[in-house]
Structure 1
């Protein structure tokens, strides 16, 4: 990428639609109601052979106080200061408003390069508004339609000369997490590629999820050391799932901030539904998921559902109790949290439980260590030889049941995947193995191979006992059937 392009303008002029057009994906939430976008969202823009960082910003409001609109405006102004090029979008069907003139004056003073784009100018309805844009004094306006893709060639011709002057390093693209298949050699040795370790080229993908007002954005701001995400006392400020690439205590990470997730019955607003869906999508991209709790009201029903969803998706889970600085009786509260965790989330038995304060930054070292530990366990490989020795000990100490007098034999075990660890056991009468015995083996894997908390997948594959004489018997049967067939073909009396 060569430069950074920030899209700014009043609410509901089509900034997020243009952002999605430039990145080629529907990353930003789009709706008819104004003010959907609140945070700064970055994406990899592409226009012809140009590659650049494009930033979608909140709508500029006439507010300068500490209200939500005022904080959104300051965040957008920060994007203007840091961007190489600002695209000032107006609504061609509305024309130039007093607010447009006010913000144009701000851009004239603060922005390095400004491009005026008259959006929604398709057809005759936008002609007058596009002509009015000359009055802003920011150069010749571009007539575009973000919805229909019109005017992108004109935008390319304007950006091309700027791309020769400005250089900006391209951020790493977001890649969806996939399971890692193990080769036979890696499965036997328990070793293999170390590509899973975080690096600058492939940072650790971390998602922070939880209920509204748990402190997710505040925690991420404290980790990256700047007020990058919009925060405040209001619940439900975050709407888009915003990703931020940073180094967390020396570890390259891409951190996803997600919208607060309420109970489905309470979610009636369309934008909130889109926000929750975007947050669930971020979980599927992540490798490690931090479930952030409010220590004052931990482990409510929605917290349990969120944690269970992360486990179901096969992600490594770390549970963090926020606002620990406000707790008075810390030892008693910590024992209470651990007891509730073991009781209410048995599927995450052994997962890290840490206490943090997003406001003061205390406990971030423990959170960092827990994230790295969970990620390492999530990628762990166990040698096949050790697994089969362990399987023999487990079946000897607690043999599988024999339903109907038919003894179940567990013959062979190997690890077939990591991220999360997945194992296959070759056995007889697999349809008769109860779920309780499967849980017995999974709990044994957690305890004996130091895999606390991470999701473990265990599958049984049917492998009946092989009869060494079966091939010979089949051959005799086939030869006998052939001779009988020949006898029937002989004419009578021969």
Structure 2
């Protein structure tokens, strides 16, 4: 992103450690924004400590990629690699201890978790490769390491970066720049404006901030970098990011455009709310739906904005048709906020920010365990899971371990045999019962740890 200002504090040193092949170099590359570290499926590719400047949202830090921790004979190459990793731990201000959620906790994980614990450094536990249902379930095994709550992440797909940001934030000083708010104020609301080329993103940004901050014009593709702008709305700090237009992948040939697209996608990953801007005269084209689906898969709060509303005739019918099309074409975010506006005239722009605030509130919403289990009990009475091969699927209880987006876990037996239609039924029930319109709800299943519970 452009317009990065240097931090007014010494950069903390963050070390990524763990046994070989858990994805340390992949996370390193993602945080530095470049492929500085070689990545391969074979363990042991990384040997030396590799340092770069990492960024996550508004946090800047030095980050070190290390060799995989493994047992080795004294004096061997592997032992010297381990010494390098141990030195990185000693020098680090923060340690990211990474495990493989798909493989579960291994003897080496346990051994080296003890080594990290003895170093008396702040530790953030990451359960990597948690993008699948099995991976998320496996991430809970990492609780046994005694390093705190594991954060399910996917370094390869960029999932869980919002939670990693939240875990790192307390280790950084509050901004002390004279233009910043007093310490203790809430962090700025991070909003990304995305869409196809020439949808009017830069015009909308200029209208929101009240100045010609972004270059605009009739030509598509004027914006190349993702540009971050700090401003205030209703006394609330906002960090607004204007991005390059996203075309279909097959049409992106120019190298510079590829970099711009990658920057725009990275802005989605770091945002809390993403406004997908559509041209109201030709909305819901295939690329619009692909962008909205990407936002949902990244777990960001979503607002759909219909720009150029001043050019639309018969607005009442058009609004009704667009609402129906949105819920039909994007059922995974049913009920998402839909706002008609004109960046050119300013019509509807304040409604957009109200919709952003509402979507952000839903994205952060938590449901009590008691309320969840009352809901689950009612669901099972009205519509129990179908039997599979003559055997009942039992759903025992539910909980919400985290929000941003709302993430629910249901414990039971033979849950892997639940049909997709029943999982969708549960998700829709959660959305309707707990008023979660538009939220990209995450639902996973786990088997209780009781070895005597055979269902």
When the two structures are superposed, what TM-score results if normalisation uses the length of structure 1? 0.56
Match of 1:458 in 2: 443
**Length, aligned pairs only:** 293
What does 1:459-474 align with in structure 2 at a 5 Å threshold?
459-463=444-448, 467=452
Match of 1:362 in 2: 347
Larger Rg: 1
Asked if 1:173 corresponds to 2:58, the answer is: yes
What does 1:281-430 align with in structure 2 at a 5 Å threshold?
281-430=266-415
What does 1:105-254 align with in structure 2 at a 5 Å threshold?
173-174=58-59, 177-178=162-163, 201-254=186-239
Which residue of the other structure, out of 434, 445, 470, is the alignment partner of 2:419?
Answer: 434
Over 3 Å counting, the alpha-carbon distance change for 1:181 and 1:222 in structure 2 is closer
Note if contact 2:192-2:268 (Cα within 8 Å) is conserved in structure 1: yes
What does 1:46-61 align with in structure 2 at a 5 Å threshold?
none
Match of 1:273 in 2: 258
Match of 2:138 in 1: none
2:323 aligned counterpart, secondary structure: helix
**In structure 2, C-alpha distance between the alignment counterparts of 1:372 and 1:274, rounded to whole Å:** 30
1:44 aligned counterpart, secondary structure: coil
Note if contact 1:44-1:173 (Cα within 8 Å) is conserved in structure 2: no
**In structure 1, C-alpha distance between the alignment counterparts of 2:189 and 2:392, rounded to whole Å:** 46
Which digits, 9 at most, give the CA deviation of each residue in 1:220-240, with x for residues without a partner? 111110011111111110000
Q: CA RMSD in A?
A: 2.5
**In structure 2, C-alpha distance between the alignment counterparts of 1:180 and 1:422, rounded to whole Å:** 17
Over 3 Å counting, the alpha-carbon distance change for 1:46 and 1:174 in structure 2 is closer
- The CA deviation at 1:416 is 0.7
**In structure 1, C-alpha distance between the alignment counterparts of 2:247 and 2:215, rounded to whole Å:** 19
1:319 aligned counterpart, secondary structure: strand
Which digits, 9 at most, give the CA deviation of each residue in 1:276-329, with x for residues without a partner? 000000000000000000001100000000000000000000000001111121
Which digits, 9 at most, give the CA deviation of each residue in 1:237-266, with x for residues without a partner? 000000001112332110110000111111
Which digits, 9 at most, give the CA deviation of each residue in 1:90-134, with x for residues without a partner? xxxxxxxxxxxxxxxxxxxxxxxxxxxxxxxxxxxxxxxxxxxxx
Over 3 Å counting, the alpha-carbon distance change for 1:463 and 1:344 in structure 2 is same
1:261 aligned counterpart, secondary structure: coil
- The CA deviation at 1:467 is 4.8
Note if contact 1:180-1:419 (Cα within 8 Å) is conserved in structure 2: no
2:6 aligned counterpart, secondary structure: strand
- The CA deviation at 1:181 is 9.5
2:162 aligned counterpart, secondary structure: coil
2:4 aligned counterpart, secondary structure: strand
**In structure 1, C-alpha distance between the alignment counterparts of 2:200 and 2:8, rounded to whole Å:** 37
**In structure 1, C-alpha distance between the alignment counterparts of 2:8 and 2:201, rounded to whole Å:** 34
Over 3 Å counting, the alpha-carbon distance change for 1:289 and 1:463 in structure 2 is same
**In structure 1, C-alpha distance between the alignment counterparts of 2:270 and 2:7, rounded to whole Å:** 22
- The CA deviation at 1:464 is 7.9
After TM superposition, the runs of 4+ consecutive aligned structure 1 residues lying more than 4 A away are 46-50, 179-182, 464-468
**In structure 2, C-alpha distance between the alignment counterparts of 1:406 and 1:210, rounded to whole Å:** 47
Over 3 Å counting, the alpha-carbon distance change for 1:447 and 1:48 in structure 2 is closer
Match of 1:22 in 2: none
Which digits, 9 at most, give the CA deviation of each residue in 1:159-183, with x for residues without a partner? xxxxxxxxxxxxx93586226999x
Which digits, 9 at most, give the CA deviation of each residue in 1:327-366, with x for residues without a partner? 1211121112112112211111010111011011111221
2:344 aligned counterpart, secondary structure: coil
When the two structures are superposed, what TM-score results if normalisation uses the length of structure 2? 0.61
